[in-house]
Amino acid sequence: MPSLAEHLIRWHPLNGRHDLPWQQRRDPYAIWISEIMLQQTQVSTVIPYYQRFMQTFPAVDSLANAPLDAVLALWSGLGYYSRARNLHLAAQRIMQEHQGQFPESRERIQQLPGIGRSTAAAIAVFAFGQREAILDGNVKRILARFFGIAGYPGQPKIQKLLWQQAEAALPADHRGGLIEIYTQALMDLGSTVCTRSKPQCDLCPLQPQCIAWQQQRVAQLPAAKPRKPLPRKETVLLLLQHQQRLLLEKRPSSGIWGGLWCPPEMTIGADAVDYCRQQWGIAVQSPVEMPALDHQFTHFKLRIYPQCLDVAADSRVASPDYIWLKPAEALELGIPAPIRSILMQNFSAGKLPLGKC
């Protein structure tokens, strides 16, 4: 009976994806960018970001030499911003430590910032044709169902077992592009057929040997992560405006929205007028509250309460960490997605809603 790898290699030519913008090329830089963007992000969302990114930074030297703000601006809205910061840092490492040449082995690729074992393996496969196993979310789901592996894949013992199965399932002969075909087939099967919900088992080439299918456990495998209610947090966002410009501050490089530009925050219950006087020595009119916005992160839910405040004409905030920008200019920077949404909803014709303040 054909092996898992043989089934997928036969299935992929007619059923896999062949026209993604990062395919049909051996450029490790382009493959690396796509693999990082595809982490926890759907292909349809990634494609326009990838195309803009590659147009602006077509090679590793252009990325390494770019200001981090320019990288974050292109990443704005894609989420998980540590990925962009690590891309920038890794590009600099490649230029400094590898003389601008992308490392070829999975082990050396994995030493770059922001690259784990599975991502490093995918780059080694697609860029250099190496025989390496991947284990992203799609592959974990396929293997858990095919081999009937119970338990949450994030548990160390389950993950170890999945890695063992992933390595054992590799095609014995990886020459002639077979390892690339097999690896892409795994990704495509998980994205289009063996999906988390409503899998299309009747279209799956692995169905006859799939233990989950045989035992009618497809919906139960892989086991879901034990869930706890997400904690809720609240913050006040200060939309300080002066002469049709908005005050933004550079957030610390670590933490939520690290390195991005954002209007200043204030804790719930504080008085905005007193806060602005104590924090920056500026006078503001009484704030006008704007509609609250909910945003969910991986580990908590955040409710944002924007307050719109007019700043007195003679007030100034002078610091390298703060800038005054027109709303349209602010939208060109690296800003968090919910902040972008607030700005786009609350100004028109490039002007802040002075009439509301």
pLDDT at 354 over 50: no
Of the candidate ranges 25-29, 150-154, 340-344, the one whose mean pLDDT is the lowest: 340-344
Q: Which pLDDT belongs to residue 318?
A: 65
Listed in sequence order, the DSSP H helices in 306-355 are 327-330, 337-346
pLDDT at 352 over 60: no
Which position among 6, 35, 180, 332 bears the catalytic label?
35
> Is 180 annotated as catalytic?
no
> Would you list the DSSP string of 124-154?
HHHHH--------HHHHHHHHHHHT--S-TT
In three-state secondary structure terms, 81 is coil
> Would you list the DSSP string of 165-220?
HHHHTS-S--TTTHHHHHHHHHHHHHHHTS-SSS--GGG-TTGGG-HHHHTT-TTT
Q: Which pLDDT belongs to residue 350?
A: 47
Q: Which pLDDT belongs to residue 349?
A: 44
Q: Which pLDDT belongs to residue 346?
A: 73
DSSP 229: P
Q: What are phi and psi of 286, to 5 degrees?
A: -55, 140
Q: What are phi and psi of 159, to 5 degrees?
A: -65, -40
Reported confidence tier of residue 355, pLDDT bands at 50, 70, 90: very low
The domain spans of the chain are: 4-214, 232-356
pLDDT tens for 232-291 read 999 999 999 888 888 999 988 877 888 889 999 999 989 999 999 898 888 888 888 888
Q: What are phi and psi of 265, to 5 degrees?
A: -110, 160
CATH assignment, 4-214: 1.10.340.30
Q: Which pLDDT belongs to residue 348?
A: 54
Of the candidate ranges 10-19, 129-138, 143-152, 172-181, the one whose mean pLDDT is the lowest: 172-181
Q: Which pLDDT belongs to residue 316?
A: 65
pLDDT above 70: percentage of residues in the chain: 95
Exposure string over 79-115, b if 16+ CB within 10 A, otherwise e: eebebbbbbbebbbbbbeeeeeebbeebeebbebebb
Measured in whole angstroms, the distance separating CA 277 from the mean position of its chain's CA atoms is 38
Q: CATH: 1.10.540.10, 3.90.79.10, 3.40.800.20, 3.50.50.60. Which one for 232-356?
A: 3.90.79.10
pLDDT tens for 305-351 read 999 998 876 666 667 788 888 888 888 888 888 888 888 887 654 44
- Asked if residue 152 lies in contact with residue 221, where contact means CB atoms within 8 angstroms, the answer is no
Mean of the per-residue pLDDT values for the chain?
91
